[in-house]
Every structure is written in C-alpha cells, then in structure tokens.
Amino acid sequence: MQRKRPEDLRSHRWYGVPTLRAFGHRSRSAQMGYAREDYAGKPVIAVVNTWSEINPCHGHFRQRAEEVKRGIWQAGGFPVELPAMSLSEPFQKPSTMLYRNFLAMETEELLRSHPVDGVVLMGGCDKTTPALVMGALSMNLPAIFMPAGPMLRGHWRGEHLGSGSDTWKYWDELRSGRISEQDWEEIENGIARSPGHCMTMGTASTMTSAVEALGLCLPGAASIPAADAGHARMAVACGRRIVDMVWQDITPRSLLDARSFDNAITTVLALGGSTNAVIHLVAMARRAGVPLTMDRFDELARRTPVLADLRPAGRFLMEDFYYAGGLRALLSRLPDLLHLDAVTVAGVTLGEAIAGVSCVNDEVIRRRDDPLVACDGLAVLRGSLAPDGAVIKPAAAEAHLLRHTGRALVFDTRADMAARIDDPDLDVDADSVLVLRNAGPQGAPGMPEWGQLPIPKKLLAAGVRDMLRISDARMSGTSYGACVLHVAPESHIGGPLALVRDGDLIAIDVEARRLDLLVDEDELAARRAAWQRPAPHYRRGWGRLFIEHVTQANEGCDFDFLEGDAPTDEPDIF
C-alpha cells in the first residue's frame, strides 16, 4: 500500500501552503502555544469527544481523551480535541434517538469544516456509537472508534445487579409489594458503581460490539470494562493506530461492505443483543452505500445460535464476559458463520484478529453444542398489523406468548397508559394484548424506549410477569418480555396500528413470522377513512427538521437527505 506524502495530507491545505489564509491558521496555532514543527507535515487527528458532566457513561472521557492524544503524539500526529453532543441516555428527553441524527450531522460537519486528516471517535452510550459512525462514514476520512466500555457489576445484598434489567425487575417487585422502599433505595445506590455504559447486553454493549465486528475498533476493544487499566492502554493504542491509518488512507468505506455488516449482524445475534441494533445497523449500512434490510437480520437469525449467557436473556454481565475472553472469544466459536476475510482498522482480517483466542468460561460464552438459544435471537414479523415489519426478541419472552391470540387493550399515548395501567377496574387479563401507539419516529416524537409496557398492577399482584405487548416504539436493550417493537409504518402516519380498537383480536406466531390484526378489511377501510392524522409535535427548530425528514423504523430512522454515500465538496479555504 502506497503511503501518503506530507503534501498529500488534507490538513496541508490549511497549514502548508504559502497563502494569506494559511498564515492565519499558523498564527492562530502559535497563539495557542503550538510551534510550526508540532503540526507541519504531520497528520492532524480529530479526537471527537462526547464527554459531558451529565453523561455518566462517558464520565472517564476527559482522561481517555488525554490518553488518545498521547498515542497520537507518540505516532507522530497532531491531536485536536473536538467536543460533540454527548447523547446522555439516562437524562436526555424525550429520547436520545431524537438526537442521534443530530450527532451524526455534527460529526460529519466537524470533520468536513476543520483541518483534520483522520479521527478517533469516542463514544459508547447507546446512540453515540451509531451516530459517530454514521457521521464518519459520510465524511469518509480515516476513522477508528474508541468504545467507552461497560461499567462494573452492580451489587445488592450479595446479588449482582445489571443496569436496566434489574431496574425493571425490582420496579415490578416494588409495585407488587414484594420489596420495600428501603430495599429499592439500596438497589438505587448499588446498581451503578463506576464510569462506563450499561454492563448488561443492552444497546450500548450491543452497538460497540457490532462496531468491533464491523472492523472499526481495535480487536478486543469493545469488551474491556471502563474502569480497567486495559481500557486506558486501548485508548493510547487507538491514538497510535489512527496516525498510520491516515498515512495508508484507510477509510471506513474502504473497509466496510456487505460482508462486514453480515459479521456485525451475526455478532449481535450471537450476543442476544438489543433489538435497537436493527435500526442502527440499517442506518449505518445505508451511509456506507450498502443495501441492508430487516429481512437480512431474520435470515441470519435462523442460523445463528445465542452463545452469550448475558442479561437480559441470560445470567451474566459484561465484566464476566470480559474475563471469559470477551468478544473475540465469542467470535472464535462462530468461524463458519463469519466472513473471516473482512478487513479491520488494525490492518488485519477478522480471522487474523480472532486467531488463537480461546474462551476460559463455557458458562458465560457457551459452546456451539450447548447454546443459550439454538437460533432466532431476534425475529422479524410481518402481517396485516405490520406490513413493513416489526421485531421481537423471542428469547426474552415467556414461551407461551410466542404463539398467542388475545384481545387488544389500546393506549393512544404514553400519558394515557400511565394514567390507566394500574386502575383496578381496567378491563384486562393475562391473555390481553397491550397496545401502545403514537410512540414511533414521528409520533412520540423520536421513537423513545417505551416498548416494554408495564404489566398492570392487579396482574402483577396475581403473579403475571409477562404479557404480549405491541408498539411502534423501541425498547431498551436491557429490557425483556414478549414485546413486539418497531411496528412499521407507525401509527402517527396512518399505519395499521392507528386503526386498532379495544377488543380487537391480535394474533402473533413467531415461528411463522406473523403479526396480524384479525379485523375484516371492510371494517378496516371504514376506520381508515375516518382516521385523522395528529398534529405535528414541533413547528420550529431541530424537532421540525426531524419530523419532516426522518424515515421509518424499517429504513433506519435516518434523514432522507443524509442516506447514501454521495460525496460532498471540500470547503473552499482560500
């Protein structure tokens, strides 16, 4: 591979030419304390840092940014830290999904408008990972992703607590009167003990693992706990590696193809990963110019075993997964299901990256002959209620609900659901199908993680812990239950979910991949004619732009004008 010359660097246009504008760039660099030899003829590396004081998942990123920069200096580059929107999953409302495309656009434009030759992307909290990668794919400068890493295990009275999963579990126990307020407070103070993202196989670990399988992380990077010293060493290594990537002109779109995305999907499925990965990987693939649909997830799910015994589907947490060998150990058990010739940012193939790696705990990472689930870690459903598709995680549901028919109980909004769900007079039983609508990309807005509808209190008290629940919302990757999600088209734009009424029969058959509203077509036609589209939520600003341009869940919820890999002209700096 031919290496670039210093005068071939993109940043040379800003710093290295004899123009008045370059004089300004150099003089302002001197103003910041840099001598010309600090940057002249060297790759300028953006360190896109999504740290903020209200994002605990990235609480260690101030230090990690310094470690990334250390690696860049060591390799002969010039680091420039660029802050970007943090997308704090625990705090940002109505949903960080409303702002994923914001961060993707910001990342793309930060890279386009500044004198940078490559980028280290620092993220991990749920939507930051796909957003950063989407922006980097569109800009297509050499890029490497540095994952935040999972937090340490939670603890309560001798039990390990998992973020999200145990929150929902013990919230139901509190609502049903089985634990006390003091118990609940102790759980609150013990469930999150260190920096880092969720240590269950939620969306955060799902997406960082998917990006490693895509080839955009250093091998093994996604599994390292945030508090482990190995995480700091990995950050330095990212800084060193990106400098070589610039000289070799290794860009995301030169690495990623359909094989890469197959590897990422297979990884998500073998992990029992979050259903959110469907939306994010479809969006990322479209940015890379790779056609990808929900159907590919279903095709690969039929052959891929779930080997990671991780919550919410299994028993263990990401710290256990790391000690068992991490993602490379899991992938080493799937060689026949992976494209081992796919190339990674490390300059080696995926096959080379996992060669010689072994698993040291067969309980955490199961053998192929002893899977947690033989196949179908995820299923894509279609039918009269979801003509463009919906998703479910069968392993997280009680088995009797995977083929079920029940009466619909419809909630028009989340506020409506919150007001009525615990009413002792609610007309509901264990066979009912809870339906939430107006929770999709436009309807919520932003498609929040409202898909794990709560079990009515009177049913909790009777011992019910799972029911069939259907919505056009998403669900936290840390959640569980018989929840059908991402129903498309969404109800807010007139999808069939908008036409469901209390008492209608809904039938699901996961094996047959069906989800149907059992109402005759004449009745549905009359309801459709009477339906009126709700008023938009926003009339100005980002919200209006979002509503006018966001695509549906099956299309990745990207903006219609951002999809594809068409180039954008470089800025005129003269």
**pLDDT tens-digit map of 73-107:** 999 999 999 999 999 999 999 999 999 999 999 99
Residue type, 269: L
- pLDDT for position 218: 98
User: What is the Cα 251 distance to its own chain's centre?
Assistant: 22
Q: What is the pLDDT of residues 201-225, one digit of tens each?
A: 999 999 999 999 999 999 999 999 9
**pLDDT attached to residue 316:** 97
Q: Do 109 and 93 form a contact (C-beta atoms < 8 A)?
A: no
Give the pLDDT confidence of 457-488 residue by residue, as tens digits.
Answer: 999 999 999 999 999 999 988 788 999 999 99
Which residues are CB-contacts of 533 (< 8 A; sequence separation ≥ 6)?
Answer: 492, 493, 494
Rounded Cα distance, 4 and 359, in Å: 40
Lowest-confidence pick of 155-164, 245-254, 286-295, 475-484: 475-484
- Chain centre to alpha carbon of residue 269: 14
Q: Work out the pLDDT band at 544, boundaries 50, 70, 90.
A: very high
Residue 528 has pLDDT above 80, yes or no: yes
Helix residue ranges per DSSP H, 114-228? 128-139, 165-175, 181-190, 203-214
Q: 326: which 2 tokens?
A: 């991490």
**Out of 8-17, 115-124, 348-357, 560-569, which region has the weakest mean confidence (pLDDT)?**
560-569
pLDDT of the residue at 443: 96
Cβ–Cβ < 8 Å for 331, 213: yes
- Please state whether 160 falls in left (phi above 0), alpha (psi between -120 and 50) or beta: beta
- For the stretch 404-414, pLDDT in tens is 999 999 999 99
Q: What is the mean pLDDT of the chain?
A: 96
Q: Rounded mean pLDDT of 111-135?
A: 98
Q: Is the pLDDT of residue 561 over 90?
A: yes
CA distance 227 to 223: 12
Tell whether the model's pLDDT for residue 573 goes beyond 80: no
Confidence at residue 164, expressed as pLDDT on a 0 to 100 scale: 87
Position 510 pLDDT exceeds 70: yes
Amino acid sitting at position 67: E
Question: Between β-strands 159-161 and 433-436, what pairing exists: parallel, antiparallel or unpaired?
Answer: unpaired
User: What is the predicted pLDDT for the residue at 574?
Assistant: 67
Task: For residue 516, give the nearest of 413, 387, 375 by alpha carbon.
Answer: 387
42 confidence band (pLDDT: 50, 70, 90): very high
pLDDT (average), residues 161-187: 92
Domains in the chain with CATH codes: 379-530 (3.50.30.80)
pLDDT of residue 110: 98
For 280, other C-beta atoms within 10 Å of its C-beta total 29
Whether residue 566 has pLDDT greater than 90: no
Cis peptide before 90 (omega within 30 of 0): no
Decide if 73 contacts 105 (C-beta within 8 A).
no
Span 255-275, average pLDDT: 97
What confidence score (pLDDT) does residue 2 get? 79
Question: At a CB cut-off of 8 Å and minimum separation 6, what does 490 contact?
Answer: 437, 439, 440, 441, 442, 443, 472, 497, 552, 553
Q: How confident is the model at residue 252 (pLDDT cuts 50, 70, 90)?
A: very high
Q: Are 401 and 482 in contact (CB under 8 A)?
A: yes
Q: Which whole number is the average pLDDT over 163-188?
A: 92
Mean pLDDT (whole number) for 14-34 = 96
Residue 238 CB partners (closer than 8 Å, separation 6+): 68, 71, 120, 144, 146, 218, 221
